[in-house]
Amino acid sequence: MAILASSNARAQQAAGESDMLEEIVVTARQRSENLQDTPFSMVAVTGDKLQAQNVVSTMDLDNKVPGLVLRADNTRPQPFIGIRGVGDISRNPGIDNRTGMYLDGAPLGRSSSINYPIFDIESVEVLRGPQGTLFGNNSLTGVIAIQSQKPSFQDSSRTTVSTGERNLFAGSGYVNKAVTDDLAVRLTAAGRSQDGYYKNAYDGSTAGGGTNYAGRVQVRYVPTPDTTIDFSADGVRAKDEILLGVGKFSTGPMAGMADYTFNANTKPFRDRTIWGLGLNVEQTLPEDFVLTSISSYRRSRDSFNYDGDGSPAAMINVGFRYADWALSQELRIASPKNPLYDYVVGAFYYHQNPSEVQTVRFGPDYPVVPVRGSIIGGTGVVATDQAALFAHGTLRPTEWLALDAGLRYQRTTKSADKVQDNTAILLGYPPLKAHFGLSDPTLNPMASVTVKPTSDISIYALYSTGDRAGGFNMDVVKTLSGATFDAESVVNYEAGVKTELFGRRLRLNLAAYRQRFKDFQQAQNIIDPNPPAGTLPTVINVITNAARVRSQGIEADFDASLLPGLRLSGGVGFNHAYFKSFPDGGGPGVDYTGSPLVEAPRFQGSLALDYRHQVTEDFDGRISLTATNRSKVYSQPGSTVAPFNDGRYLQDGYTSVGMRLALERRDEGLELALWVRNLTDERHADGASPVAAGYLFKGLNEPRTIGVDLTLRL
């Protein structure tokens, strides 16, 4: 997949002046450079293409970039994020993300912040593989870097209003104002509300919809030509009707429910608040060295509640409350780029303080009378500090050869407190109070070689590494014996070729990789195999270390200019991510060795067709078609092993098609667009999970949705 042209290039293509692909400029290595010069696999998507593909949140990027998996939190405790078949959920405050998501250079936060609205965005860059020597956190599997549109010194504004099926109403826009010659302000806002697509037979309510609002204030101050200061404040408020504990149950009394129907006495919901402050300073020093400072402070709160038995009976109700605050500081110096060498050195500090409160309430209809009124409850708080030094440099002894090397040293310390109350002794959950601590130092090198046999072809080979600190299971447990887990490490081998062919009308990039993980941290939900006599089984969360994991495959991205105004882009990825060794992964004697990783499709593919044509003197017509395909995946590890996990955790493979038809004024002042999500009304299992009572359910994807956008630009 590749990005579309800039506004000027789009106008030239529409007029037939050029059908060459534009150069893609990225900042993955902390300096502006051509995408084709980066010695690793990455994809860049502009805001224009995000709009053409009707991307309104980060979750909509799922499958649009091969190798990238972003599974929404509708049927999960929190969003899943992964690259190359390896990902996770950092719902539990004792475990961290493998994949980093950044907003304007600063870490966006944990899983509760991953589902972030896409509005007024300049670009999204997806870097595959470990990135410890390039980005602040030591990201094991890759990075998603979001760049917002910055204030400019030319006044402008945009307003978009959308309406559609299931009472969809949405709007977004910005106002950019140059206050003085050296001070500019940009105000951005977005909101969205829509009814759900699941019907609750109990009270006629819906699930699967929700309402969210987001805003951003940015100020750019340029006191001298060598100094740029950017301040930002952003926030998100979202209340969603989640699908946890609803859908087509694989076991239990509701197994025969019709599609998009459930029957529960508790209305499932999620309530999130996210906000942050950022301060970025870039100072050009003597000899053209550049000093960059990135400071951020972020907070999030997330609570959700669902019916743990998924029935009209008042048996089990589950609730979680999360809170997190984090601050980060990155300071780096980039040398001037010259034909022979350049480098970046820096330091990074990150503190986060996530916490959770977990409650499972047993109601008056619970079948075991002594348990009625009991609560399984607990709290967990973790304080994490990361301090790192990193360096990355490139040496070019000749025009056709480049040598890259990098090194990162990091020390992570964690301190955690866990409390478990005494109200659920009858269910086998004893009162507990414990304090944990750890200190993990790591050293991660990387190296690559790039050969350019011609100016349009680059061939590279890459070696990179990464580490993730150990941690603690802060969920309710039956014993402290398995409450801690060890650090995890990865070694990545990658080779690729990047090409621009046929007079820069075809861009084709290929990569092959093999990643070896050691002491892989695996979180999973297991139905308690030994519930107290007469009680229903409950779902327990465990985090263990799998001895070894492998992820290997190939990926290809392409962008082709077929005719002036006609672009075809896309990509494919073949991946095999599996447990190389995981004895006792499902409990004593249950071997998960050979089983696929969670949410790890063997195949992903995307195809985007974009055609712009002048229909009148003042208006262009534009059609955008997007198709994505993903093979089947499992929501829990050990999918081939009974009785813990089996095909009931299978999520279907599928093909999804989207379309957008637009009529645009050539001066970009007015646009009217008709869009369709899930054009073929494809239906498939989109989430599979056990609920608190031990029943298994599968949620279905969102059905076809049609809407209209009206945009006015000034």
Instruction: Answer yes or no: are the C-beta atoms of 442 and 413 closer than 8 Å.
Output: no
- Count the residues in the chain: 714
Q: Which two tokens stand for residue 313?
A: 């009976």
688-to-451, 695, 697 alpha-carbon distances in Å: 46, 11, 6
Paired with 361 in beta bridges are 317, 375
Instruction: Answer yes or no: are the C-beta atoms of 673 and 713 closer than 8 Å.
Output: no
DSSP 502-516: TTTTEEEEEEEEEEE
Tell me the mean pLDDT in the region 122-137: 87
> What pLDDT score was predicted for residue 531?
77
**Which amino acid, 561?**
S
- How far apart CA 445 and CA 407 sit, in angstroms, is 4
> What pLDDT score was predicted for residue 16?
41
Residue predicted with more confidence, 4 or 647? 647
577-to-30, 426, 555 alpha-carbon distances in Å: 30, 40, 14
**Radius of gyration over every alpha carbon of the chain, rounded to an integer in angstroms:** 25
Q: Which two tokens stand for residue 80?
A: 């899943």
> What pLDDT score was predicted for residue 253?
66
* pLDDT for residue 642 is more than 50: no
3-state secondary structure of 466: strand
> What pLDDT score was predicted for residue 419?
93
Residue predicted with more confidence, 22 or 279? 279
- How far apart CA 628 and CA 65 sit, in angstroms, is 9
- How far apart CA 66 and CA 628 sit, in angstroms, is 9
Q: How many CA atoms lie within 13 Å of 165's alpha carbon, on the beta-carbon side?
A: 12
- How far apart CA 376 and CA 425 sit, in angstroms, is 9
> What pLDDT score was predicted for residue 201?
92
Dihedrals φ, ψ of 482, to 5°?
Answer: -115, 25
The residue written with tokens 């390896």 in the block is 86
Tell me the mean pLDDT in the region 110-125: 90
Res. 637 pLDDT band, cuts 50 70 90: confident
Q: Quick one: DSSP state of residue 482? A: G
**Which amino acid, 192?**
R
CATH 1.10.10.10 for domain 7-713, yes or no, is: no
* pLDDT for residue 633 is more than 50: yes
- Return the closest-CA partner of residue 685 out of 642, 641, 633: 633
Longest dimension (CA), the chain: 80
Res. 639 pLDDT band, cuts 50 70 90: low
- How far apart CA 94 and CA 79 sit, in angstroms, is 16
Cα dihedral sign for 134, 138, 139, 140?
positive
Residue predicted with more confidence, 102 or 72? 102
The 10s digit of each residue's pLDDT in 311-343 is 899 999 999 999 999 999 999 999 998 889 999
Domain ranges of the chain: 7-713
**E strands present in 335-431:** 341-352, 355-362, 375-398, 401-420
The 10s digit of each residue's pLDDT in 540-592 is 888 999 999 999 999 999 999 999 999 999 999 999 999 999 998 887 788 88
Instruction: Answer yes or no: are the C-beta atoms of 129 and 492 closer than 8 Å.
Output: yes
Res. 18 pLDDT band, cuts 50 70 90: low
* pLDDT for residue 77 is more than 80: no
Instruction: Answer yes or no: are the C-beta atoms of 99 and 130 closer than 8 Å.
Output: no
Cα dihedral sign for 71, 77, 82, 87?
negative
Dihedral, CA atoms, 93, 97, 98, 101, nearest 10 degrees?
-170
Mean pLDDT of the chain: 90
pTM confidence score = 0.93
> What pLDDT score was predicted for residue 17?
46
> What pLDDT score was predicted for residue 614?
92
Q: Which two tokens stand for residue 339?
A: 């034909």
- How far apart CA 30 and CA 161 sit, in angstroms, is 36
Residue predicted with more confidence, 279 or 74? 279
